[in-house]
Amino acid sequence: MTHVRITATHLADGRELFYFDDSEPYVSGAATRRLDDPRPLPPQFADGAQGPQMRRDPLTGDWIPMATHRMNRTFLPPADANPLAPARPGAAYSDGEIPDTDYDVVVFENRFPSLARVEGTPGPGDLEGEPLWEVRPADGRCEVICFSPDSTRSLREVSPLRMRTIIEAWAQRTEALSQIEGVQQIFPFENRGEEIGVTLHHPHGQIYAYPYLTPRTSIMLDRAREHRAATGGNLLADVMTAELRSGRRVIAQSEHWVAYVPAAGRWPVEIHVAPLDTSRPIPDLAALTDAEKDDLAGFYLEILGRCDMFFPDDDGSPTRLPYIAGWHQAPVGEGRDDLRLHLQLFSIRRAPGKLKYLAGSESGMAAWISDTTPEKVADRLREVATAYVPAGLENPGDHR
Amino acid sequence: MTHVRITATHLADGRELFYFDDSEPYVSGAATRRLDDPRPLPPQFADGAQGPQMRRDPLTGDWIPMATHRMNRTFLPPADANPLAPARPGAAYSDGEIPDTDYDVVVFENRFPSLARVEGTPGPGDLEGEPLWEVRPADGRCEVICFSPDSTRSLREVSPLRMRTIIEAWAQRTEALSQIEGVQQIFPFENRGEEIGVTLHHPHGQIYAYPYLTPRTSIMLDRAREHRAATGGNLLADVMTAELRSGRRVIAQSEHWVAYVPAAGRWPVEIHVAPLDTSRPIPDLAALTDAEKDDLAGFYLEILGRCDMFFPDDDGSPTRLPYIAGWHQAPVGEGRDDLRLHLQLFSIRRAPGKLKYLAGSESGMAAWISDTTPEKVADRLREVATAYVPAGLENPGDHR
């Protein structure tokens, strides 16, 4: 159980920002500090500016948001600045996005979003009057979450208390974003590593609120409905139960969680993490109990720790595995009962210094070829287990 | 119209190899040269060795071929050797895969295939007795096609005559591979560039014969059937016709072909090439007329030439755009009438020195975000047009 104080404010251009503070003296927004953003930022979308639009690909049915809108980029931070760092004490205003000089965890709307709701954007229609080419506003939302004020840390290195706060922030934002009209699913995820294009090393993730069902969720929903029709069961719960029954690819289990390499995993490293309780529906992070969230904090850090030991340095110390970690959550509306919360963490690193590239078969045909087996991956992830005991959440004196 | 002489032979380990010679003296396999492969190669699959297997992902329904089989890799070529080069004249045997000392175009079975039919591989079943985890032999076929004996060339730089031979080889192999029991679709493709993981610079492509429908083909088939049910038309033909009617994204047109940037294209550079004749079904390359194949040779080279001018050098000369170019062909069996031949050529290069990475949204959710618009991409591809006139196929004295 943890106490998180949420402080809501706005950035100078109108975007929302939320501080999530977990420790005395609840640093950000404290009386002695400033909450507001004094930067001379123009409004995010000037009068008459349109929001992003998306087109539906007639060959696949996928919605493709496009950078068709022109946004005002006059106030870009200096190239060497870290826009996710806290403001420097005493400076007139921050070089970056965070007005306050300290924070525990902070979430704010992305300044150049792929998905955004903007008044005045044309509604649904056709491109060039052609019914094959449906067009709609890409009226979702893109948020950024900073995991720590310390730019040199990796998510793996935050305290269990801080990890618990991050989980609380994911859950709270999932709940809040689910209320936005038209939003169909919420995807909290982290991209880590230059190998997947991350140029900003400050530990952070993103939260997308899509105004459509993503292709992966749509297809999982189709499979889940087929499975329910055939067996009466929930596909995600039954897959987890089958992995537990087999045990061959389970890499860690706690009171409330299990982590396994899926039997048909496709990435060089792939881990799914799911809540054990199948007695109730758990559509998303917001549906977790406090006990499940508390337990997840240490469990998640243990999994991240193993990832960085998958390909250690020559001297046996951890190296930062490039990874993508995303929380698959059930849709907000239709299909909510058919899917179930689970984390998918995967890497394109197939050996030290070597990546799996998505070439013709994967990128052209979406037909994956695996260079390994899930059993080998699971063996390695078990080998690098630490003496893991779900950790207590108290870390006195380490609010960072 | 062209004359191509096909010479079929086998490599020392039993794999098939086909020379496609287009010019006097029809160099490979000529009387004075050797056809056989004298290397001391062990059989590709030793007695009792099993072929590759694949597992069905219960969350998506996708088949995932896996490197579960152990193949004999004792006879690897030296690391600095080019296994696609012709044999050196006078050498006891080739360092690489091609026994002959010269060739025009050559196709052979991949030595370490992801898909292969091997006698004795267990048939369909379940992993660990679990019905959720279907297993089957990955009994398709993977072939390599060398576009030129000259390692320094790029496909863009071959002669129209040679391009015509390559098209003939694609068409012939499509026809032949379609006869293999269990093969459901044929995918000729080229990966070019280190940026997508290509380490072998010799100009070459691959031909996959899948024993299942790939996810992209399955989904296009679903959309095509919905479209036929709703309108009576063929989706691919109707999309092409709509692009012709609009004209906004058409970048080139010849007597038999059109190239356009699709209205909902998702890659930083994406081009579709389709045959103009909608009066007959054209499921695959094997269904093309000689006139269509002749015309395609120059047309394809023109498209490749423009790709390399998309981001030219500082001095205006072409640079090699990393790309994936794949021929989408209708399935061999069911669904054959619903789909239609088209090429999809795309690049992850979004600016000089910059790539689009497939991060959380794309890799985790299959939800693409485009950083550009198809209209901008089309404008650029028109700007870099050469004074293109469909070229004659005679190139005397340039059999390479």
- Three-state secondary structure of chain B: CCCCEEEEEECCCCCEEEEEECCCCCCCCCCCCCCCCCCCCCCCCCCCCCCCEEEECCCCCCEEEECCCCCCCCCCCCCCCCCCCCCCCCCCCCCCCCCCCCCCEEEEECCCCCCCCCCCCCCCEEHHHCCCCEEEECCCEEEEEECCCCCCCCHHHCCHHHHHHHHHHHHHHHHHHHCCCCCCEEEEEEEECHHHCCCCCCCEEEEEEECCCCHHHHHHHHHHHHHHHHHCCCHHHHHHHHHHHHCCCEEEECCCEEEECCCCCCCCEEEEEEECCCCCCCCCHHHCCHHHHHHHHHHHHHHHHHHCCCCCCCCCCCCCCCEEEEEECCCCCCCCCCCCCEEEEEECEEECCEECCCCHHHHHHCCCCECCCHHHHHHHHHHCCCCCCCCCCCCCCCCC
- The predicted-structure confidence for B326-351, as pLDDT tens digits, reads as follows 999 999 999 999 999 999 999 999 99
Interface residue B217 vs chain A (CB under 8 A): yes
CATH number (3.30.230.10, 3.30.428.10, 3.40.50.11260, 2.30.30.100) of B5-213 reads 3.30.428.10
Contacts of B145 in chain A (CB under 8 A): none
Interface residue A128 vs chain B (CB under 8 A): yes
More confident of the two residues B99 and B163? B163
Please give the C-alpha separations between residue B83 and each of A11, B108, B202, in angstroms, as whole numbers.
59, 12, 9
- Nearest by CB: A370 against B64, B359, B360: B64
The residue type found at A359 is A
Q: Mean pLDDT in chain B? A: 90
- Nearest by CB: B130 against A215, A236, A242: A242
Whether B136 has a pLDDT exceeding 80, the answer reads yes
How do the domains of chain A map onto residue ranges? Answer: 5-212, 216-383
Query: Given pLDDT bands bounded at 50, 70 and 90, which one contains residue B393?
Result: very low
Chain CA centroid to CA A294, Å: 18
- The predicted-structure confidence for A216-263, as pLDDT tens digits, reads as follows 999 999 999 999 999 999 999 999 999 999 999 999 999 999 999 999
State how far residue A371 is from chain B, nearest Cα, in angstroms: 5
DSSP code, position A370: B
Ramachandran region of residue A128, left (φ > 0), alpha (ψ -120 to 50) or beta?
left
> What pLDDT score was predicted for residue B25?
77
Query: Given pLDDT bands bounded at 50, 70 and 90, which one contains residue A366?
Result: very high
Query: Given pLDDT bands bounded at 50, 70 and 90, which one contains residue B70?
Result: very low
The stretch A25-41 carries a mean pLDDT of 74
- Nearest by CB: A366 against B132, B215, B324: B215
> What pLDDT score was predicted for residue B392?
43
Residues of chain A with pLDDT > 70: what percent?
92
Interface residue B127 vs chain A (CB under 8 A): yes
State how far residue A244 is from chain B, nearest Cα, in angstroms: 12
B259 contacts: CB under 8 Å, gap ≥ 6: B250, B251, B252, B253, B271, B272, B273, B299, B303
Level-2 CATH architecture, domain B216-383: 2-Layer Sandwich (3.30)
- The predicted-structure confidence for A113-131, as pLDDT tens digits, reads as follows 999 999 888 999 999 999 9
Query: Given pLDDT bands bounded at 50, 70 and 90, which one contains residue B94?
Result: confident
Question: Using an 8 Å Cβ cutoff, are A107 and A145 in contact?
Answer: yes
What backbone phi and psi angles, to 5 degrees, belong to A75? Answer: -110, 65
Pairwise CB contact (< 8 Å): A216 & B367:
yes
Query: Given pLDDT bands bounded at 50, 70 and 90, which one contains residue A339?
Result: very high
State how far residue B397 is from chain A, nearest Cα, in angstroms: 34
Which position has the token pair 């950078």?
A67
Active centre residues of A (catalytic): 204
> What pLDDT score was predicted for residue A28?
77
State the fold for domain A5-212: HIT family, subunit A (3.30.428)
Whether A312 has a pLDDT exceeding 90, the answer reads yes
The reply to whether B202 belongs to the active site is no
B219 contacts: CB under 8 Å, gap ≥ 6: A60, A61, A366
Chain CA centroid to CA B278, Å: 23
Determine the residue among B64, B231, B238, B373 to mutate to test chain A binding: the one whose Cβ has the most chain A Cβ atoms within 10 Å: B64
Give the residue from chain B lying closest to A263, CA to CA. Answer: B133
Q: Do domains B5-213 and B216-383 have the same CATH topology?
A: yes
Pairwise CB contact (< 8 Å): A365 & B227:
no
Interface residue A223 vs chain B (CB under 8 A): yes
- Nearest by CB: A359 against B65, B191, B360: B191
